[in-house]
Amino acid sequence: MFNLIPKKLPFSVLKTTSIRRTLHRSSSSSSSSSSTLASNPNASPIANSFTVSYLIDSCGFPPDKAISASKYLNFKSPNKADSVIQFFKNQGFTETQVSQLIRKFPLALSCNPQKNLLPKFQFLSSLGLSSSDIVKLLTVRPKSLGRSLKNHLEPSMSLLRDLLQSDDRTLIAIKRCAWVLDWDFQSNMIPNMQLLRDVGVPGTKMLYMLTYQPRDFLVNTEQFKNVVEEVVEMGFDPTKTSFMLAVHAIRSMTKATWDKKMETYGKWGWSKAEILLAFRTDPWCMMKSEEKIDTVMDFLVNKMGFETSVVAKNSLLISLSMERRIVPRCLVYDYCLKKGLVKNKNAFNWWLRCSESIFIKRLQRYEKEAPGVVKLYRKKLDRAR
């Protein structure tokens, strides 16, 4: 599946001169375009005055943003800009979305709708994206419209498709992170994947994260290296999925946020060693909000009477839904405990972690000694929802 990732990158797909040259041209043309546009501040004050008024009146720009954007735009009549706005509306954008798009990428107003914009919309559609998908993606990341179709979008998406080995996974990655449309894979994604390969992460594990969390790879290589080294030092096994989840967890928050999570667990009596063990057991436990952590711990420790250290050893419980899992099952667990049906009080983690079908089967075994226990659970479940 990941034959494209040999021991040493670049991948075999990048060994062809044409693709390397194409991606290089994309980067060069982008830089050249930026240089040209940056020279526009010499536009006449009259033209800029009209542009500023248009951006404020037709696009909803705040005055200061309109003045700033006008340095890179120069039009004396509304005709071309109006045609661009109408084009976006014809593609399904609402007025609010058009305004958001233009504010993020004012240079869209200088594009030719038929020559520059339409071919890119057609290309995105050919990837399998629906009209609503395209609207959502470009509202989030309109900068993609400034990329060359032939020199960047097409080769980049071809490379992503080759890496993921699936049209479906490619669509998932694009929908999960609009940035993949215009990012320079050569400068970060590929070097970062090489870093993971070097520490022993299998291609299949990278494949999963590249599909569902592509943003993790779109970061400065030095920053990514520091995160990978930190996860290695924490004792995670690179061959396990938890390694990539730990990378994602640390990448997804600032140090200040991480420290707040540490403090939240610490106030419940967890030592740093216990928090690290909990994180290695289930990296998701550090991605939950402080409010969610407090809510789960308060219910399990103060209401149910479980030892905080036992919860620390079963950190997966922090990620479970209070309404759909923890509350209804704990209430039925307490009922069965009082009936003498549960012999080992510390077995509560099994009650919370097992699948719904297995849990129902266990309750059905208790029906003879505790008639109506399944009905009681369903009642608690419905009430919790």
**Closest by Cα among 149, 202, 197 to 10:** 197
Distance CA 74, CA 52 (A): 10
Please report, for the chain, the start and end positions of each structural domain, with discontinuous segments joined by +. 39-143, 289-384
- 60 Rama sector, left if φ>0, alpha if ψ -120 to 50, beta otherwise: left
Residues 6+ apart with CB under 8 A from 236: 242, 243, 246, 280
Does position 195 have pLDDT exceeding 70, yes or no? yes
Place 385 in a pLDDT band, splitting at 50, 70 and 90. Answer: low
Does position 47 have pLDDT exceeding 70, yes or no? no
pLDDT score for 364: 92
Place 6 in a pLDDT band, splitting at 50, 70 and 90. Answer: very low
What is the tens place of the pLDDT at every residue in 119-154? 999 999 999 999 999 999 999 999 999 999 999 999
- 340 Rama sector, left if φ>0, alpha if ψ -120 to 50, beta otherwise: left
71 φ, ψ to 5°? -65, -20
**Full-model pTM:** 0.76
pLDDT score for 10: 37
Does position 367 have pLDDT exceeding 70, yes or no? yes
Average pLDDT over residues 222-250: 95
**Closest by Cα among 184, 157, 220 to 26:** 184
Token pair 């320079």 in the structure block, residue: 184
Contact 146, 182 (CB under 8 A): yes
Q: 257 in helix, strand or coil?
A: helix
Place 183 in a pLDDT band, splitting at 50, 70 and 90. Answer: confident
237 φ, ψ to 5°? -85, 115
Place 384 in a pLDDT band, splitting at 50, 70 and 90. Answer: low
Place 75 in a pLDDT band, splitting at 50, 70 and 90. Answer: confident
- 323-330 LR contacts (CB < 8 Å, sep 24+): 323/384, 323/385, 324/381, 324/384, 324/385, 325/352, 326/296, 326/299, 326/300, 326/352, 327/299, 327/380, 327/384, 328/377, 328/380, 328/381, 328/383, 328/384, 329/359, 329/377, 330/299, 330/300, 330/303, 330/304
Residue 125 CA from chain centroid, whole number: 22
Does position 185 have pLDDT exceeding 90, yes or no? no
Token pair 């990012």 in the structure block, residue: 183
**Closest by Cα among 267, 268, 376, 275 to 330:** 376
**Closest by Cα among 170, 153, 152 to 161:** 170
pLDDT score for 223: 93
